[in-house]
Amino acid sequence: MINLDKKTREKYNAIAQECQEYEPIAAARNLSMAYGEDEVEDAGCDSCIHFNDGECDIYKREAEETY
């Protein structure tokens, strides 16, 4: 994950929260497990295995429809 401005972070989080295909990358999954959490609290598209620097079709579709 990279440092993002607040608006972009909120967009990534909103899309990830609704995404049926969201699956956190291993680093994000391991971080949440280290804190005893079932999910990554700040789950955003950029922490998903499918995101691929914005090439994810789900992200593109949702971003276009929503933002």
Q: Is residue 44 part of a domain?
A: yes
Q: Is residue 3 part of a domain?
A: no
CB within 8 A of 16, min separation 6: which ones? 22, 43, 44, 45, 47, 48
Domain count, the chain: 1
* Residue 48 falls inside a structural domain: yes
Residue 49 belongs to a domain? yes
> Token digits for 43?
């789950």
C-alpha–C-alpha distance, residues 57 and 39, integer Å: 23
List the domain range (segments joined by +) for residue 32: 22-66
8 lies in a domain?
Answer: no
In a domain, 50, yes or no: yes
Question: Each residue of 5-46: pLDDT tens digit?
Answer: 889 889 999 999 888 888 888 765 565 555 555 554 567 898
> Within a domain: residue 14?
no
CA atoms within 13 A of residue 34's CA, in its CB half-sphere = 6
Write the DSSP assignment of 10-32 as a string of letters. HHHHHHHHH-TT--B-HHHHHHH
What pLDDT is stored for residue 55 in this prediction? 92
